[in-house]
Chains A and B, each alone.
Chain A
């Protein structure tokens, strides 16, 4: 199966549009393929962040199906070539999903959220509840996810690390409804990198905009405009 087909299947699985039999097969593949697991985890985290869902958990119907398939596989002792035990197989998957990938995405989006303010006139969603809710991924998010550029998988051991391994993650509470041209996580990274080149006055003002925000999340307005793309031919 080519990478494109795998991507397509993964996307369909995430959209809850993959037939149950194929879902099971892909789940087995997920068990063997660490990179694929990382990508799935990244999809989940990014999707949750983009939707700005708070209080969502992994125990959705889709996640349940995947988990069931994975557990079934583990119970059948079909230990993949990597030689993972049945405990050692499921835990890294969960860790990948809920750990590094989610942390990277959430951290980046949170930074963007702190560092930006909603343009005037844009509606804000309700603030997050005061207590962090566990991360949850719902199939309903899939159509929005499809419009987002797919970032590279976050590999374990990437340069983002956690001081403490949290058992829950917080995602921003609002959604960028426009056709975001750059994924919020990417834009956050760019803004962070750019801010290093601001002067003291500009940096202070920019930080003020972020610190002073309420519980709303960044609303990115997208205004596609015509541009001549030079192909170099």
Chain B
């Protein structure tokens, strides 16, 4: 007995110590972000939340279901307009009762890269993760995690993650000075094992509505590599995807580049066709649409448009880098090999 106890006690302490380390690891900001990602991507839920942005507050209901990776979702405005969005896989149907219109969009499946972007360990060079402890949110225990950018090229987040489910009960998008520019707060949330198809049907009568359908255009070709990899970019941003796709109203394919730092994404669209007849109609400049920044510029008959949920300086820097790179290539081609 004595020998057994002599062996058992150290093992017991070791097990307890390891369990303690594991518990600490499971409580890191990164672990909470991982839990949140998993909950958002895999759980069924039904909730009511308020959305604040640009000085306006709206109440919405969301019903979200995942079956073998396929997402079905209904988002409904409970205030005023009564608009509803129903997403079923790649198809998004927008019911606009105030416009007596229904829009149906279908994105090409290849436009749905898995897990981009997401909160993961690759972003810690450019964001500082911090846990602010446990607070009550919606009467539930929530872990408060902040994602603070280390420079002015990206926005930050403050997240209230429900400890029991991993769901974000409250989220804030923060500008470069730490001020909230967008906020989503749940007032009720239930995690459900089963959600019937009927709950994704729009709760409105569409008799007499006009239906407009966009099938997403011809098949898109996906390219890899290419010279855009050498583009000088804001710190941390890398080329994450490069495609050529058709856009409505544009006769020629548009080059679509996606740059990401692992969390923020910026899309760049390069097209030529529009400016053949009117090269002087577009001026360089930045536009702000909600929390999305867009920057447009023209060079040698090509139009460059960058946009994303990042500060205006980021989209501008990316476009300027692309244009320098493009001009360098043109110069090299003009000179020819030595």
Chain A interface (Cβ within 8 Å of chain B)? 3-4, 7, 42, 103-108, 110-112, 114-120, 127-128, 130-132, 147-155, 158-164, 166, 168-170, 179-182, 185-187, 189-194, 196-202, 204-215, 218, 220-233
Contacts and interface: CB of A to CB of B under 8 A. Distances in A.
Given A152-B251, A190-B269, A131 B40 contact: no
B245 A193 contact: yes
A208 B58 contact: yes
Place the interface of chain B in its size category.
35 or more
A230 B324 contact: yes
8 contacts: A111-B94, A159-B248, A181-B283, A186-B305, A187-B307, A190-B269, A193-B245, A208-B51
A21 B113 CA distance: 56
Among B249, B256, B275, the one with the most A-chain Cβ atoms within 10 Å of its Cβ is B249
A149 B309 contact: no
A114 to B, nearest CB: 6
Interface stretch (B13-21, B23-31, B128-136, B290-298): B290-298
Given A104-B249, A159-B215, A160-B214, A194 B287 contact: no
A104 B246 CA distance: 13
B287 to A, nearest CB: 5
Contacts of B292: 116, 191
B75 A116 contact: no
Given A210-B83, A232-B326, 17 more contacts: A42-B249, A104-B248, A114-B94, A119-B288, A162-B213, A170-B99, A194-B308, A199-B263, A204-B40, A212-B81, A212-B83, A213-B83, A214-B56, A225-B284, A227-B285, A231-B299, A231-B300
B289 A187 contact: yes
B213 A199 contact: no
Nearest to B297: A227
B327 A162 contact: no
Interface in B9-60: 36-37, 40-41, 49, 51, 53-56, 58-60
Interface of B: 36-37, 40-41, 49, 51, 53-56, 58-60, 62, 75-77, 79-81, 83-85, 94, 96, 98-101, 103-105, 107, 111-113, 115-118, 168, 171, 173, 182, 184, 210-218, 240-241, 245-252, 256, 258, 260, 263, 265, 267, 269, 273-275, 277-278, 281-292, 294, 296-300, 305, 307-309, 316, 320, 323-324, 326-328, 330-331, 334
A232 B159 CA distance: 45
- Majority secondary structure, A binding face: loop
B85 A211 contact: yes
A225 B288 contact: no
Contacts of B299: 229-232
A162 B213 CA distance: 5
Contacts of A197: 111, 113, 116-117, 240-241, 258, 260, 265, 267
Among B182, B246, B248, B288, the one with the most A-chain Cβ atoms within 10 Å of its Cβ is B248
B249 A105 contact: yes
Contact of A190 (B79, B104, B215, B294): B294
Given A117-B54, A162-B213, A181-B282, A229 B297 contact: yes
Nearest to A169: B210
A162 B296 contact: no
